Protein backbone atom coordinates (compact mmCIF):
# COMPACT_ATOMS: atom_id res chain seq x y z
CA UNK A 1 0.00 0.00 0.00
CA UNK A 2 2.86 2.37 0.86
CA UNK A 3 4.41 1.82 -2.56
CA UNK A 4 1.11 2.57 -4.28
CA UNK A 5 0.82 5.85 -2.38
CA UNK A 6 4.40 6.73 -3.30
CA UNK A 7 3.75 6.06 -7.01
CA UNK A 8 0.56 8.11 -6.87
CA UNK A 9 2.42 10.96 -5.16
CA UNK A 10 5.17 10.91 -7.81
CA UNK A 11 2.55 10.86 -10.58
CA UNK A 12 0.85 13.98 -9.21
CA UNK A 13 4.25 15.54 -8.61
CA UNK A 14 4.94 15.26 -12.34
CA UNK A 15 2.12 17.70 -13.07
CA UNK A 16 3.40 20.06 -10.41
CA UNK A 17 6.92 19.89 -11.87
CA UNK A 18 5.74 20.78 -15.35
CA UNK A 19 3.99 23.86 -13.98
CA UNK A 20 7.05 24.75 -11.87
CA UNK A 21 9.40 24.57 -14.88
CA UNK A 22 7.08 26.83 -16.88
CA UNK A 23 6.96 29.40 -14.07
CA UNK A 24 10.68 29.36 -13.27
CA UNK A 25 11.57 29.65 -16.96
CA UNK A 26 10.14 33.19 -16.90
CA UNK A 27 12.86 34.34 -14.50
CA UNK A 28 16.23 33.95 -16.27
CA UNK A 29 18.05 36.29 -13.85
CA UNK A 30 16.95 34.13 -10.91
CA UNK A 31 18.09 30.97 -12.69
CA UNK A 32 21.40 32.58 -13.65
CA UNK A 33 22.23 33.59 -10.09
CA UNK A 34 20.86 30.78 -7.97
CA UNK A 35 20.93 27.77 -10.29
CA UNK A 36 23.50 28.18 -13.10
CA UNK A 37 26.00 29.98 -10.86
CA UNK A 38 24.86 28.33 -7.67
CA UNK A 39 23.34 24.88 -7.30
CA UNK A 40 24.46 23.63 -10.72
CA UNK A 41 28.13 24.43 -10.07
CA UNK A 42 28.06 22.07 -7.10
CA UNK A 43 25.94 19.37 -8.76
CA UNK A 44 27.94 19.29 -12.00
CA UNK A 45 31.31 19.00 -10.24
CA UNK A 46 29.95 16.26 -7.99
CA UNK A 47 28.70 14.26 -11.00
CA UNK A 48 32.04 14.63 -12.80
CA UNK A 49 33.89 13.45 -9.68
CA UNK A 50 31.54 10.48 -9.26
CA UNK A 51 31.63 9.27 -12.87
CA UNK A 52 34.69 10.89 -14.42
CA UNK A 53 37.14 8.26 -13.12
CA UNK A 54 35.24 5.39 -14.79
CA UNK A 55 37.15 4.52 -18.00
CA UNK A 56 33.99 3.88 -20.04
CA UNK A 57 30.75 5.74 -20.59
CA UNK A 58 28.53 4.96 -17.61
CA UNK A 59 25.86 7.28 -19.03
CA UNK A 60 25.54 5.15 -22.16
CA UNK A 61 24.91 2.06 -20.02
CA UNK A 62 22.35 3.99 -17.98
CA UNK A 63 20.50 5.09 -21.13
CA UNK A 64 20.56 1.51 -22.44
CA UNK A 65 19.09 0.28 -19.15
CA UNK A 66 16.34 2.91 -19.32
CA UNK A 67 15.48 1.77 -22.86
CA UNK A 68 15.36 -1.88 -21.77
CA UNK A 69 13.06 -1.02 -18.86
CA UNK A 70 10.80 1.04 -21.14
CA UNK A 71 10.54 -1.66 -23.84
CA UNK A 72 9.95 -4.31 -21.18
CA UNK A 73 7.12 -2.25 -19.70
CA UNK A 74 5.47 -1.82 -23.13
CA UNK A 75 5.95 -5.52 -23.96
CA UNK A 76 4.36 -6.69 -20.72
CA UNK A 77 1.54 -4.18 -21.15
CA UNK A 78 0.56 -5.75 -24.46
CA UNK A 79 1.27 -9.28 -23.26
CA UNK A 80 -1.13 -8.84 -20.33
CA UNK A 81 -3.67 -7.26 -22.70
CA UNK A 82 -3.72 -4.01 -20.72
CA UNK A 83 -4.81 -5.61 -17.45
CA UNK A 84 -4.56 -3.20 -14.50
CA UNK A 85 -3.88 -0.47 -17.05
CA UNK A 86 -4.70 2.40 -14.68
CA UNK A 87 -2.29 1.12 -12.04
CA UNK A 88 0.48 0.55 -14.59
CA UNK A 89 -0.11 3.99 -16.08
CA UNK A 90 0.45 5.52 -12.65
CA UNK A 91 3.70 3.54 -12.35
CA UNK A 92 4.84 4.81 -15.75
CA UNK A 93 4.03 8.44 -14.95
CA UNK A 94 5.80 8.10 -11.58
CA UNK A 95 8.89 6.76 -13.38
CA UNK A 96 8.80 9.63 -15.90
CA UNK A 97 8.33 12.08 -13.03
CA UNK A 98 11.62 10.97 -11.44
CA UNK A 99 13.47 11.21 -14.77
CA UNK A 100 11.96 14.63 -15.46
CA UNK A 101 12.98 15.88 -12.02
CA UNK A 102 16.56 14.62 -12.33
CA UNK A 103 16.91 16.14 -15.81
CA UNK A 104 15.95 19.67 -14.78
CA UNK A 105 17.61 19.73 -11.36
CA UNK A 106 20.84 18.15 -12.63
CA UNK A 107 21.10 20.35 -15.74
CA UNK A 108 17.92 21.30 -17.60
CA UNK A 109 17.21 24.64 -15.91
CA UNK A 110 20.29 25.98 -17.72
CA UNK A 111 18.09 26.20 -20.82
CA UNK A 112 16.35 29.17 -19.23
CA UNK A 113 19.36 31.13 -17.98
CA UNK A 114 20.30 34.58 -19.31
CA UNK A 115 21.85 34.85 -22.81
CA UNK A 116 25.55 34.11 -23.02
CA UNK A 117 26.30 37.41 -24.75
CA UNK A 118 24.99 39.27 -21.71
CA UNK A 119 26.96 36.99 -19.42
CA UNK A 120 30.17 37.75 -21.32
CA UNK A 121 29.49 41.47 -21.44
CA UNK A 122 29.24 42.12 -25.14
CA UNK A 123 26.32 43.08 -27.35
CA UNK A 124 24.82 40.59 -29.76
CA UNK A 125 22.61 41.59 -32.66
CA UNK A 126 21.62 40.19 -36.02
CA UNK A 127 24.63 40.74 -38.27
CA UNK A 128 24.47 42.62 -41.56
CA UNK A 129 25.69 40.98 -44.76
CA UNK A 130 28.62 43.39 -44.79
CA UNK A 131 29.66 42.36 -41.27
CA UNK A 132 29.20 38.72 -42.19
CA UNK A 133 31.41 39.10 -45.26
CA UNK A 134 34.16 40.98 -43.43
CA UNK A 135 34.39 38.46 -40.60
CA UNK A 136 34.22 35.54 -43.05
CA UNK A 137 37.17 36.91 -44.99
CA UNK A 138 39.12 37.36 -41.78
CA UNK A 139 38.39 33.83 -40.54
CA UNK A 140 39.13 32.39 -43.98
CA UNK A 141 42.53 34.07 -44.05
CA UNK A 142 43.41 32.63 -40.65
CA UNK A 143 42.11 29.22 -41.70
CA UNK A 144 44.24 29.28 -44.87
CA UNK A 145 47.32 30.36 -42.90
CA UNK A 146 46.84 27.63 -40.29
CA UNK A 147 46.35 24.91 -42.90
CA UNK A 148 49.44 26.05 -44.79
CA UNK A 149 51.48 26.22 -41.57
CA UNK A 150 50.59 22.59 -40.76
CA UNK A 151 50.94 21.02 -44.21
CA UNK A 152 53.41 23.41 -45.96
CA UNK A 153 51.26 22.87 -49.06
CA UNK A 154 47.92 24.59 -49.72
CA UNK A 155 46.63 21.54 -51.62
CA UNK A 156 47.26 18.96 -48.90
CA UNK A 157 44.57 18.02 -46.37
CA UNK A 158 45.33 18.44 -42.68
CA UNK A 159 45.53 15.15 -40.78
CA UNK A 160 45.10 15.50 -37.03
CA UNK A 161 47.66 13.08 -35.46
CA UNK A 162 46.03 12.72 -32.03
CA UNK A 163 43.96 9.89 -30.60
CA UNK A 164 40.58 10.71 -29.00
CA UNK A 165 42.00 10.32 -25.48
CA UNK A 166 44.87 12.66 -26.28
CA UNK A 167 42.40 15.29 -27.48
CA UNK A 168 40.31 14.93 -24.32
CA UNK A 169 43.40 15.86 -22.33
CA UNK A 170 44.54 18.62 -24.67
CA UNK A 171 41.10 20.25 -24.62
CA UNK A 172 41.61 21.07 -20.94
CA UNK A 173 44.42 23.53 -21.67
CA UNK A 174 42.16 25.46 -24.02
CA UNK A 175 39.61 25.95 -21.25
CA UNK A 176 42.36 26.87 -18.80
CA UNK A 177 43.58 29.59 -21.17
CA UNK A 178 40.03 30.75 -21.88
CA UNK A 179 39.29 31.04 -18.15
CA UNK A 180 42.01 33.69 -17.84
CA UNK A 181 39.81 36.05 -19.89
CA UNK A 182 36.44 34.56 -18.95
CA UNK A 183 36.61 33.05 -15.42
CA UNK A 184 33.13 31.56 -15.81
CA UNK A 185 34.62 28.93 -18.12
CA UNK A 186 36.92 27.46 -15.52
CA UNK A 187 36.76 23.70 -15.99
CA UNK A 188 37.50 21.26 -13.16
CA UNK A 189 37.25 17.48 -12.82
CA UNK A 190 37.30 16.17 -16.37
CA UNK A 191 34.71 13.63 -17.52
CA UNK A 192 34.97 13.37 -21.31
CA UNK A 193 34.62 9.97 -22.95
CA UNK A 194 34.15 8.17 -26.24
CA UNK A 195 30.55 7.04 -26.49
CA UNK A 196 29.79 3.32 -26.46
CA UNK A 197 27.02 4.17 -28.91
CA UNK A 198 29.23 5.95 -31.46
CA UNK A 199 27.95 3.85 -34.36
CA UNK A 200 24.34 4.60 -33.41
CA UNK A 201 25.20 8.31 -33.12
CA UNK A 202 26.78 8.22 -36.57
CA UNK A 203 23.59 6.84 -38.09
CA UNK A 204 21.67 9.50 -36.12
CA UNK A 205 23.89 12.19 -37.62
CA UNK A 206 25.23 13.36 -34.25
CA UNK A 207 28.84 14.05 -33.24
CA UNK A 208 28.35 13.80 -29.50
CA UNK A 209 26.00 14.44 -26.62
CA UNK A 210 25.99 15.49 -22.98
CA UNK A 211 24.44 13.13 -20.47
CA UNK A 212 22.70 15.28 -17.82
CA UNK A 213 22.22 12.32 -15.45
CA UNK A 214 25.93 11.50 -15.10
CA UNK A 215 27.55 14.78 -16.17
CA UNK A 216 29.63 12.98 -18.80
CA UNK A 217 30.52 14.54 -22.15
CA UNK A 218 30.08 11.80 -24.75
CA UNK A 219 31.91 12.08 -28.07
CA UNK A 220 31.27 10.02 -31.19
CA UNK A 221 34.74 8.61 -31.87
CA UNK A 222 33.88 7.72 -35.47
CA UNK A 223 33.52 11.28 -36.76
CA UNK A 224 36.13 12.89 -39.05
CA UNK A 225 39.16 13.59 -36.91
CA UNK A 226 39.71 17.23 -37.97
CA UNK A 227 36.39 18.26 -36.45
CA UNK A 228 37.01 16.31 -33.26
CA UNK A 229 38.58 19.12 -31.17
CA UNK A 230 35.62 21.48 -31.53
CA UNK A 231 33.15 18.66 -30.84
CA UNK A 232 35.01 17.83 -27.61
CA UNK A 233 35.05 21.51 -26.59
CA UNK A 234 31.34 21.84 -27.48
CA UNK A 235 30.34 18.97 -25.19
CA UNK A 236 32.58 20.31 -22.41
CA UNK A 237 30.72 23.64 -22.75
CA UNK A 238 27.49 21.78 -21.97
CA UNK A 239 29.16 20.44 -18.81
CA UNK A 240 29.76 24.04 -17.74
CA UNK A 241 26.04 24.76 -17.97
CA UNK A 242 25.93 26.21 -21.49
CA UNK A 243 22.71 24.59 -22.65
CA UNK A 244 21.78 26.46 -25.85
CA UNK A 245 23.41 24.79 -28.86
CA UNK A 246 24.54 27.99 -30.56
CA UNK A 247 26.15 29.14 -27.31
CA UNK A 248 27.85 25.76 -26.79
CA UNK A 249 29.16 26.02 -30.35
CA UNK A 250 30.53 29.47 -29.59
CA UNK A 251 32.19 28.46 -26.31
CA UNK A 252 33.61 25.39 -28.07
CA UNK A 253 35.02 27.71 -30.73
CA UNK A 254 36.61 29.98 -28.10
CA UNK A 255 38.07 27.05 -26.15
CA UNK A 256 39.59 25.46 -29.25
CA UNK A 257 40.89 28.84 -30.42
CA UNK A 258 42.43 29.49 -27.00
CA UNK A 259 44.31 26.21 -27.17
CA UNK A 260 48.02 26.53 -27.97
CA UNK A 261 47.85 23.38 -30.10
CA UNK A 262 47.77 24.22 -33.82
CA UNK A 263 45.33 21.40 -34.65
CA UNK A 264 42.81 22.79 -32.18
CA UNK A 265 43.17 26.25 -33.73
CA UNK A 266 42.66 24.76 -37.19
CA UNK A 267 39.50 22.99 -35.98
CA UNK A 268 38.22 26.28 -34.48
CA UNK A 269 38.69 28.24 -37.72
CA UNK A 270 37.36 25.31 -39.72
CA UNK A 271 34.13 25.17 -37.70
CA UNK A 272 33.63 28.94 -37.67
CA UNK A 273 34.17 29.26 -41.41
CA UNK A 274 31.76 26.41 -42.18
CA UNK A 275 28.94 28.22 -40.37
CA UNK A 276 29.86 31.63 -41.79
CA UNK A 277 30.11 30.48 -45.39
CA UNK A 278 26.82 28.59 -45.03
CA UNK A 279 25.12 31.86 -43.99
CA UNK A 280 26.74 33.77 -46.85
CA UNK A 281 25.45 31.16 -49.28
CA UNK A 282 21.91 32.01 -48.18
CA UNK A 283 22.41 35.76 -48.61
CA UNK A 284 24.87 36.34 -51.44
CA UNK A 285 25.66 33.55 -53.92
CA UNK A 286 28.23 35.66 -55.78
CA UNK A 287 30.20 36.38 -52.61
CA UNK A 288 29.90 32.74 -51.64
CA UNK A 289 31.56 31.69 -54.90
CA UNK A 290 34.26 34.33 -54.49
CA UNK A 291 35.18 33.17 -51.00
CA UNK A 292 35.07 29.47 -51.84
CA UNK A 293 37.47 30.06 -54.70
CA UNK A 294 39.85 31.72 -52.24
CA UNK A 295 39.96 28.80 -49.81
CA UNK A 296 43.04 26.57 -49.94
CA UNK A 297 42.41 23.35 -51.88
CA UNK A 298 43.52 21.25 -48.93
CA UNK A 299 40.73 22.75 -46.81
CA UNK A 300 38.12 22.12 -49.50
CA UNK A 301 39.33 18.51 -49.66
CA UNK A 302 38.87 18.29 -45.89
CA UNK A 303 35.30 19.59 -46.12
CA UNK A 304 34.57 17.24 -49.02
CA UNK A 305 35.78 14.15 -47.15
CA UNK A 306 33.75 15.15 -44.09
CA UNK A 307 30.62 15.57 -46.20
CA UNK A 308 31.17 12.20 -47.88
CA UNK A 309 31.59 10.56 -44.48
CA UNK A 310 28.17 11.70 -43.27
CA UNK A 311 26.51 10.97 -46.62
CA UNK A 312 27.35 7.27 -46.37
CA UNK A 313 25.41 6.98 -43.12
CA UNK A 314 22.19 8.63 -44.25
CA UNK A 315 19.13 6.48 -43.58
CA UNK A 316 15.32 6.79 -43.36
CA UNK A 317 15.36 6.87 -39.53
CA UNK A 318 17.71 9.85 -39.18
CA UNK A 319 15.14 12.52 -40.25
CA UNK A 320 12.65 11.16 -37.71
CA UNK A 321 15.21 11.32 -34.92
CA UNK A 322 16.20 14.85 -35.89
CA UNK A 323 12.53 15.83 -35.95
CA UNK A 324 12.15 14.54 -32.41
CA UNK A 325 15.31 16.36 -31.28
CA UNK A 326 14.02 19.49 -33.00
CA UNK A 327 10.86 19.31 -30.90
CA UNK A 328 12.91 18.71 -27.75
CA UNK A 329 14.99 21.84 -28.36
CA UNK A 330 11.92 23.96 -29.06
CA UNK A 331 10.34 22.73 -25.83
CA UNK A 332 13.44 23.92 -23.96
CA UNK A 333 13.63 27.59 -24.90
CA UNK A 334 15.32 27.15 -28.30
CA UNK A 335 12.64 28.41 -30.64
CA UNK A 336 14.66 27.61 -33.77
CA UNK A 337 15.16 23.95 -32.89
CA UNK A 338 18.05 22.28 -34.71
CA UNK A 339 18.64 25.50 -36.60
CA UNK A 340 19.84 26.92 -33.26
CA UNK A 341 23.28 25.47 -34.01
CA UNK A 342 23.59 27.88 -36.95
CA UNK A 343 22.92 30.95 -34.80
CA UNK A 344 26.51 30.73 -33.59
CA UNK A 345 27.23 33.06 -36.53
CA UNK A 346 25.88 36.11 -34.69
CA UNK A 347 27.94 35.29 -31.61
CA UNK A 348 31.14 34.82 -33.61
CA UNK A 349 30.64 38.10 -35.45
CA UNK A 350 29.83 40.01 -32.24
CA UNK A 351 32.96 38.59 -30.63
CA UNK A 352 35.21 39.27 -33.63
CA UNK A 353 33.91 42.85 -33.95
CA UNK A 354 34.61 43.46 -30.29
CA UNK A 355 38.15 42.14 -30.69
* 53 three-class SS: coil
H-assigned helices in the chain = 2-24, 28-30, 40-52, 58-79, 85-106, 116-120, 129-151, 164-181, 198-204, 228-239, 245-258, 262-283, 285-292, 297-311, 317-331, 344-354
Higher pLDDT, 113 or 325: 113
**Residue 171 shares a structural domain with residue 268:** yes
Single residue among 68, 94, 112 that ends a domain in this structure: 112
CA distance linking residue 252 with residue 178, whole number of Å: 10
Q: Is the pLDDT of residue 1 over 50?
A: no
Single residue among 57, 92, 112 that ends a domain in this structure: 112
**Residue 284 shares a structural domain with residue 265:** yes
Q: Is the pLDDT of residue 258 over 70?
A: yes
pLDDT value, residue 340: 47
**Residue 103 shares a structural domain with residue 134:** no
Q: What is the pLDDT of residues 267-309, one digit of tens each?
A: 999 999 999 999 999 888 999 999 999 999 999 999 999 999 9
**Residue 282 shares a structural domain with residue 336:** yes
Percent of the chain with pLDDT over 90: 67
Task: Please compute, for residue 320, the number of CA atoms within 13 A of its CA located in the half-sphere on the CB side.
Answer: 3
Task: Please compute, for residue 100, the number of CA atoms within 13 A of its CA located in the half-sphere on the CB side.
Answer: 20
**Residue 125 shares a structural domain with residue 95:** no
Single residue among 55, 87, 112 that ends a domain in this structure: 112
User: Whole-prediction pTM value?
Assistant: 0.92
Q: What is the pLDDT of residues 112-151, one digit of tens each?
A: 999 898 888 776 667 788 889 999 999 999 999 999 999 9
**Residue 319 shares a structural domain with residue 287:** yes
Angle value at C-alpha 220, between 215 and 224, nearest 5 degrees: 140
**Residue 167 shares a structural domain with residue 33:** no
Q: Is the pLDDT of residue 332 over 90?
A: no
Contact assessment for residue 345 and residue 336, using Cβ atoms and an 8 Å cutoff: no
**Residue 272 shares a structural domain with residue 234:** yes
Q: Is the pLDDT of residue 333 over 70?
A: no
Look up the domain containing 227 and give its range.
Answer: 117-354
Indicate the number of domains in the chain. 2
Question: What would the mean pLDDT of 221-226 be, rounded to a whole number?
Answer: 94
**Residue 182 shares a structural domain with residue 168:** yes
Question: What would the mean pLDDT of 104-118 be, rounded to a whole number?
Answer: 92
**Residue 245 shares a structural domain with residue 334:** yes
Distances (CA, A) of 92 to 58, 157, 172: 24, 52, 41
Q: What is the pLDDT of residues 13-26, one digit of tens each?
A: 999 999 999 999 99
**Residue 161 shares a structural domain with residue 40:** no
**Residue 92 shares a structural domain with residue 136:** no
* 152 three-class SS: coil
pLDDT value, residue 81: 75
Amino acid sequence: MKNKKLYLFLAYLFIFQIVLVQIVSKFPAFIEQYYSNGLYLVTSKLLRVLFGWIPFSFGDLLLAALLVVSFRFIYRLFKDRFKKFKQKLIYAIAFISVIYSCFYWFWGFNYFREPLAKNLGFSQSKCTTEELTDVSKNIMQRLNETQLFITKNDSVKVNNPYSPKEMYQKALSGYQNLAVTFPQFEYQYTSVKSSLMSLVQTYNGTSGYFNPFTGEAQVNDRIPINGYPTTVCHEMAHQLGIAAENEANFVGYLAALSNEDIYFKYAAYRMAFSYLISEIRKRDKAMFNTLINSVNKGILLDFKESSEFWDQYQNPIEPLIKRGYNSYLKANNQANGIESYNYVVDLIISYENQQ
